[in-house]
Structure 1
Amino acid sequence: MVIAPREPISLKTGIFVGNLLSRHNWPSPPFFDDFAEGPPQSERTNERDHNYIDLGISMLKFIIRRMVRAFVTLILFQSLLFALIHALPYDYTAFTLQGPTWRAFMQRQLGLDLPLWIQYLRWLGKFLQLDLGVSFQNWPTPVSAILFNRISRTLLLFLSAAILAYMLGIWLGKMIAWRRGGWLEFGVTLGGVATYTSFAPWLGFVMINIFGWYLKWLPYQRLVNPNVWFNAPVMIDTLLERMLITSVISLTAFLLVRRASRGIKKHHWRRIAQAVGIVIIGIGIGIWWSRSGLSYLAIDVLAHLTLPLITVVLLSFGETMMIMRAAMLETKHDDYVLTARAKGLPDAVIRDRHVARNAILPVITRMALNLPFILVGSLVIERVFTWQATGEIIFSAIEYQDIPVLLGILSIVGILALIAHILLDILYNYLDPRVRYRGLE
């Protein structure tokens, strides 16, 4: 006798039979247990509220543990940084030409004659009080004041390059993963890997030779053109701060436009709405700068910013592109993607709304961890293009052994890396339930 396999029951039938059996206390087959009526709605609501409260408390404990661990890591990093910098063979007083008596006097004034462990404790105590010390070269100017005067220049280059590299890498990775096997994938992959693995100063010199010397399309030296800035109504740093604020406002407006356009169901209408929003943002910014009377100065800064910006983007986008490509290839054959294809959704909708959204998490992870390296690359490119910003300060400090400036700049880079790790941990616990519950144990 051949027993036919049990046919799967429908959801409605299972719920009806399961509730009927549980209401009369009749024994039920095991496969009906999942359909039996659970506790009353009020009890389920209270249980869900308690779960949210417990999850919030657990998340708070998780953040506190991460902050304590980050503080210990910061102290260890500062200790190692202090030891490595003081392992250099000379100090700032070795460059004096006034003789040994004057050098000994300078060492006493700068505190370099003290034992190394006393110097370390004094510096660590000031650092914990947010005091980065005083520059040796520009005595008695605080290191924080020197960095504050140049930070807007570096941030304008660094943030613009990081955002553009992130967006370009995601878009190209998405395209080459979706259209495999053609010349587009080969050319884009080859170019991205070649620029990502390039030596930063070499790539900067290549860009200068091609677009600066040979084609003469873009300026490649100095921060601005002195002839344009003669009798300018504002200082350079003031204008750069305004440009930085404008960039942040523009990015926020762009994200709001993308968020608002998600409610549009038709893919092509959503793209049109986003394009119209971007045009409106651009027109608004152009009108504001024109009415301020500073547009010609901003254009001069942008002209000098273009080459170093493109160089940093070329150095940075390749890794994001390859990670996005790998994540897309891993995700595009999942069951929910096949279901979306079976529904007849357009390829662009499947690519952008189903595959790319689920492949973005490893890209965000790597981008957060790469921000300090992009910052260091920006400092090197600043030196190559004589972009007078933080990079010029750090290389001058290396040349003259200005230890407080070196410690201050590298400490900021380390703090940025640490903040990126903390935010990444919190973001992962928020976005991925598997990581969330494993991290909250």
Structure 2
Amino acid sequence: MSTTRSPAEGRGPDGGVVRSGPPSPTGSRGSGPRAAYLRYGAGKLGGAAVSLFAVLVTSFFLFRIIPGDPVRAMTHGRQVSSEQLMALRRQFGLDLPVWQQFTEYCAKALGGDLGTSYQFHAPVGELIAAKFPATLLLTGVAVLVYSTLGLWLGTRSAWRHGSLGDRVNTGVALTLWSIPAFWLGLLLIIVFSVGIGPLPGLFPTGGMESGNETGLAHVLDVAHHMVLPVTTLVAVGYAQTLLVMRSSLLDEMGSDYLTTARAKGLRDALVRRRHAVPNALLPTVTMIFINLGHVAAGSILVETVFSWPGLGGLFYAALSVPDLPLVQGLFVVFAGAMILMNLLADLLYPLLDPRVAR
């Protein structure tokens, strides 16, 4: 008895039935890796947008519970009448209902207008832009140094875990991680700036420059002022990167693919560099991008201790008034930088491990 084949069927080389009809839903366009990544990225972008709105809400209401009247703080030490105080409140919009202040604040912030500083009488955006280069220089150098140092020492400690070097590195990292940055900064000032016993002061106590140098001498002068604050940030920051990298690599140490790589005759250093470290980097990527977020946020305590003219010192000055527009603007910039860096880390994950986007 003969059989009838449908036009969409044929015989393959092995005698099996081959269907040439329309593709199945699982192979349809829109379900490939690119579409999965786009869906993943859209979800992360939506989450970042929600986080940014939460930052706007938090920055508005959080700093309004700070004790103190901004108008009275601005007129401290001067005789002003109640009519003048009311005029200042109207000028800065402090006489409006809270809900109206909030809606105007959100509308302006989303348009890039962070308001006008109470104490400096200048746009908040301009004040932040003027102080940002100093923060970028200080924290940028520190993040670059302690991220590199932490990754290198964390890799070596994990690969030789249990050795004397591993115990020393881990102990030093845990000790430095537990030390407050401002306390370590004050200690370095006492020892290396003021001098102790026969040891003279070697570095400036604060500031970014002496103010009377030009050209190469100016560059060296700024570098001289950076030594102690950068050392403080590196000492506290590298410990966290080291411990995260060490823990991630230890989780990979017993994997079958490393045993297979060694069985193929690959050198130990090659197994570590080409196979173990790339797979252990995923948890550390978040740490690195968070560190990059600190480049914009700076370090309020360290900049204050060393009188560094950056965003941290500006935030401290604004908080002491309180200068609400400046405090809110800085808070949005700090939190926005962290949200952006976390978003970039999330978008990078699927490129390192495609399974993340599935």
TM-score range, shorter chain: 0.7 to 0.9
Deviates further, 209-218 or 165-174: 209-218
AA of the residue aligned to 1:149: A
2:261 is matched with 340
Answer yes or no: is 1:87 the counterpart of 2:72: no
1:206 is matched with 187
- How large is the RMSD of aligned CA atoms in angstroms? 2.7
Deviates further, 47-56 or 368-377: 47-56
Distance 2:294 2:135 in 1: 14
CA shift in 2, pair 1:207/1:39, >3 Å: farther
Select which of 206, 210, 217 maps to 1:225: 210
User: Does the 8 Å contact 1:172/1:321 carry over to 2?
Assistant: yes
Answer yes or no: is 1:169 the counterpart of 2:150: yes
Answer yes or no: is 1:125 the counterpart of 2:107: yes
Distance 1:217 1:295 in 2: 20
AA of the residue aligned to 1:209: I
Q: Could you list the per-position Cα deviations for residues 233-285 of structure 1 after superposition, in whole angstroms to 9, with x for gaps in the alignment?
A: xxxxxxxxxxxxxxxxxxxxxxxxxxxxxxxxxxxxxxxxxxxxxxxxxxxxx
AA of the residue aligned to 2:15: N
Q: How does 1:249-398 map to 2 (within 5 A)?
A: 294-372=215-293, 376=297, 378-398=299-319
Distance 2:30 2:253 in 1: 33
Distance 1:69 1:302 in 2: 40
CA positional deviation for 1:147: 0.9
Q: How does 1:29-68 map to 2 (within 5 A)?
A: 54-68=32-46
CA positional deviation for 1:88: 1.5
AA of the residue aligned to 1:73: S
CA positional deviation for 1:374: 6.7
Distance 1:77 1:153 in 2: 25
User: Does the 8 Å contact 1:324/1:359 carry over to 2?
Assistant: yes
TM-score (norm 2): 0.86
CA positional deviation for 1:51: 6.4
Distance 1:105 1:359 in 2: 60
Answer yes or no: is 1:160 the counterpart of 2:141: yes
Deviates further, 124-133 or 54-63: 54-63
CA shift in 2, pair 1:172/1:22, >3 Å: same
Identity %: 30
Helix, strand or coil at the partner of 2:249: helix
Distance 1:159 1:308 in 2: 12
Answer yes or no: is 1:180 the counterpart of 2:101: no
Deviates further, 182-191 or 129-138: 182-191
Q: Which runs of 5+ in 1 are unaligned?
A: 1-20, 27-36, 233-293
2:6 is matched with none
Helix, strand or coil at the partner of 2:320: helix
CA shift in 2, pair 1:146/1:339, >3 Å: same
CA shift in 2, pair 1:162/1:136, >3 Å: same
AA of the residue aligned to 1:93: V
1:134 is matched with 116
AA of the residue aligned to 1:25: G
Distance 1:353 1:38 in 2: 41
2:55 is matched with 77
CA shift in 2, pair 1:54/1:181, >3 Å: closer
Deviates further, 70-79 or 118-127: 70-79
CA positional deviation for 1:38: 9.0
CA positional deviation for 1:372: 4.1
User: Does the 8 Å contact 2:245/2:284 carry over to 1?
Assistant: yes
User: Does the 8 Å contact 2:297/2:333 carry over to 1?
Assistant: no
Q: Could you list the per-position Cα deviations for residues 142-178 of structure 1 after superposition, in whole angstroms to 9, with x for gaps in the alignment?
A: 0111111110000111221112111111100111112
2:15 is matched with 25
Higher helix share: 1
Deviates further, 69-78 or 306-315: 69-78
Answer yes or no: is 1:108 the counterpart of 2:109: no
CA positional deviation for 1:52: 8.4
AA of the residue aligned to 1:218: F
AA of the residue aligned to 2:92: L
Deviates further, 61-70 or 126-135: 61-70
User: Does the 8 Å contact 1:93/1:106 carry over to 2?
Assistant: yes
CA shift in 2, pair 1:65/1:183, >3 Å: closer
1:248 is matched with none
Q: Could you list the per-position Cα deviations for residues 9-58 of structure 1 after superposition, in whole angstroms to 9, with x for gaps in the alignment?
A: xxxxxxxxxxxx974538xxxxxxxxxx9999xx99xx999768843234
CA positional deviation for 1:110: 1.2
Q: How does 1:386-425 map to 2 (within 5 A)?
A: 386-425=307-346
CA positional deviation for 1:181: 2.3
